[in-house]
Structures are given as structure tokens and as C-alpha cells.
Amino acid sequence: MKIINKYDHYIMPFYMPAEFVVKKAKGSHVWDTDGNKFIDLTAGIAVTSLGHSNSELNSIVSKQTKNLWHLSNLYINEPSVRLANRLCKNTFGDKVFFSNSGAEAIEAAVKTARKYSTKKFHSKKNEIVSFTTSFHGRTLMGITLAHSKALDDGFGPLPKGIKSHEYNSTIDLEKVVSDNTSAIILEVVQWQSGITSASTKFIAGLKKLAKKHNALIIIDEVQSGVGRTGSLFAYEQFKIKPDIVCFAKGIANGLPLGGIITTDEVSSFMAPGLHGSTFGGNPIACAVGEKVIDIISKKSFLNRVKKKEELFLDLLKDINNNLNVFSEVKSKGLWLSVTFSKDSNIQVDELIAKSHQNGLMILKANIDTVRFSPSLIIEDVLIRKSMFIFEKTLTQIQSL
């Protein structure tokens, strides 16, 4: 039985993977079991920010595995403390909690916020305000926060105490934020409808209402964090100071690690036994995360991310000048989206499949939009080559 058939036979049908099996990956290249080579503009969905099989990180993994794999949080391990220190030194934060994933980080953030607000203020101050077109993971809390029928259909009853409002709109925002609001949770950069940044007016409105009602601000940076947008965390570009930040994806370059960063004040209402994780703060993942933060937090590195963004945008502009099929191109750092015009005849699923045939890996955002989230160290020559393949693929589809 071929491996693809075994996959269908043994793996639950939560995914629709590509019709090839990956053998190995290095830098921004991937090879399948048939020897075909791809340029990867997905980076494991904004995860392998320092490239696949990074030799410097490989050395750290090798060294750490010889010393310590796992103990649980009943015991202190050095890499987790060092990484927590680096995260606090580079952000607003004083305290860190480590989980395994972004979805778990969201859960920890909501629990922490509710414990803080119900104990410091009153027992009914437990409501969470979230926004449309958001994505906060696929746990019951995550899909409730997203308020999307596509995500929550058939999974009720859903957690209570969640209020939803239109993203980037201040109209009637004061009707959902009240003295019962524990926290407002948002992505300052969304991706579900293409790369969409929070507006200055929207951020100002949220800050004003949060201050008025003593509500915490939780920023979900599971995808936008760790250099993806050209700053260590995206909130730095939006004149907003969060009370809690959720992180994951890029923090350990592919090893499972996530968590939250918060303040002494907020964390002081939590205590042993109120939350936890068996695997969170794994020493191998944290040792890698420590090096990732050391590299990505440098201004010179982040400036290069912005320059690579500019190169992508210039090349995409040239493609659209030639083909006239894009209705919109949006970006924030090395997180880009391309939306196709209705009369372009471009079907996203077909485009991704044909891109694979031509040696290019890209991501679907929705029915008319693709997105790119390459390694943050992708070489300029590969950016140019990837956009050559992208244009070639679009041309092939148009000629059908």
C-alpha cells in the first residue's frame, strides 16, 4: 500500500494534503519522495522562519537531546527560564506561560484574563469580546471566538460569555464592551480575508473602551509574532500595549511550542493548579526558541524582512501589470496575500495544485485569495524565481 493510501486509511480526515509526500527539506526548498524539488512559500504555515533543517538550530537540538528531553513542570529546566527571560526583556511582559501550541495559548490567555477580572473586580466580569474574520485555533474556545459557522457547525454547545463585533469597525463597539467585559481579544493583523491590518481608528477605539471598562487587551500573535511582520511582535507597529500576548508558530522553528506573555499584575491572580501543561516549556523546544529570539530580535534581521517584503511587492506588481488578474495585494512583512478579480478565471485550489506541478508551494487564504508566508531568511534569488513560477502558473491557467 502506497504511503498516500495509508494516510487516507489511518489518518482522520481533518486535512486535505497535497498529492505528494515530502521526503526532506532544507532552507526554502522541499523535495518529495519522487525527487521533485519545490520552492516553499509556506514555511509550515509561518512556522519555519529560519528555514527548514537550519544547521545552527540542528546543533542546538543535538546538544540538548544529549542532556535533557523532558521532565514536566514539576521540575525547573534551564532553557525554559532563559527563553522566558528573553521574551520578557524584548517585550512589555514580566511573566511567561509555555504551552505546546497557539490554540493552547488562547485557552491560557482567556483563563488568565477571566481569573484576573473576576477576582479583582466582580464575578460577572467574565465576558470576552472578539471579532469577525478572526482565527484563534480550533478548540471549542477558539472557534467560539471566531464566530464562524464554517468552524463551529456541529460542535455545540459552545462556551458562553463571548461577544462578537465586526473587525475594524467602531460603529456600536461601545454596545459590546461593558463593565462585564473581562478582555478584548484581537489579531492586529488578520489573514482569513487576506492580510488585513487593524486601522488606527479601530485600535484607538478599543484602547479607549478597554480603559473605560477596566478590560484587558489580549493580542493573538500566534501567526503574526516572532518577526513575521517586520517587528518582533506585530503589536509594536500599532501603538498599543497589550496585557496578554499569545505566541506560537515561529517561536521554535517547527518544534511544538507556544504560550502567553503577560504582566506581574495580571499573572498575580493565577496560582499553582489553576492551569498547566505536561509538555509546555519542553527543554528542547525552548533551547531552540532561545536561539530563534536571539536571531530574529535583531534590528538588522527585521530590516531585511521588510526589504524582502518590498521585493515581493515589486514583483507582484510586475505580474499584475502583465496579466491583470489581481484585485488586491496586501502585506505585512513576509506575510502577503493576493486576491484575484472575479473575472480572472483563477480558481485558488487549481492554482495551488498547478503551482505544485511547477515546483512552488503556496497557501490558500479563502476561495479567491492565496497567501505567502515564506522563511524570513529566504534568498532574494528564490523570491524572484518563485514569482517567475507563480506568473508562469497563472499564465498556464489563463490559457486553458
Mean predicted confidence (pLDDT) in 142-165: 95
Q: Taking 70 as the threshold, does the pLDDT of residue 9 lie above it?
A: yes
Predicted local confidence at residue 1, as pLDDT: 65
Predicted local confidence at residue 133, as pLDDT: 95
Q: Does residue 333 contact residue 228 with C-beta atoms inside 8 Å?
A: yes
Q: Which residue from 189, 217, 296 is spatially nearest to 252, judged by alpha carbons?
A: 296
Q: Does residue 260 contact residue 112 with C-beta atoms inside 8 Å?
A: yes
Band (pLDDT 50/70/90 cuts) for residue 193 is confident
Average pLDDT, the chain: 97
Q: Reading across the β-sheet that carries 127-131, which strands appear in turn?
A: 95-99, 258-262, 244-247, 216-220, 181-186, 127-131, 162-165
Q: Taking 80 as the threshold, does the pLDDT of residue 273 lie above it?
A: yes
- DSSP symbol at 47: T
pLDDT digits 0-9 by tens, 99-117: 999 999 999 999 999 999 9
Predicted local confidence at residue 192, as pLDDT: 84
Mean predicted confidence (pLDDT) in 279-297: 98
Mean predicted confidence (pLDDT) in 81-97: 98
Mean predicted confidence (pLDDT) in 164-183: 98
Is the sign of the CA dihedral 175, 215, 126, 169 positive or negative? positive
Band (pLDDT 50/70/90 cuts) for residue 182 is very high
Predicted local confidence at residue 345, as pLDDT: 86
- DSSP symbol at 66: T
Q: Taking 90 as the threshold, does the pLDDT of residue 176 lie above it?
A: yes
Band (pLDDT 50/70/90 cuts) for residue 76 is very high
Sequence-ordered strand ranges (E) for 241-351: 244-247, 258-262, 326-331, 336-340
Residue 263 CA to residue 261 CA, distance in Å, equals 7
The better pLDDT of the pair 251, 193 is held by 251
Predicted local confidence at residue 400, as pLDDT: 75
Predicted local confidence at residue 128, as pLDDT: 98
pLDDT digits 0-9 by tens, 350-397: 999 999 999 999 999 999 999 999 999 999 999 999 999 999 999 999
Mean predicted confidence (pLDDT) in 32-42: 97
Band (pLDDT 50/70/90 cuts) for residue 23 is very high
CATH numbers and ranges of domains, the chain: 56-296 (3.40.640.10)
Classified as helix, coil or strand, 241 is coil
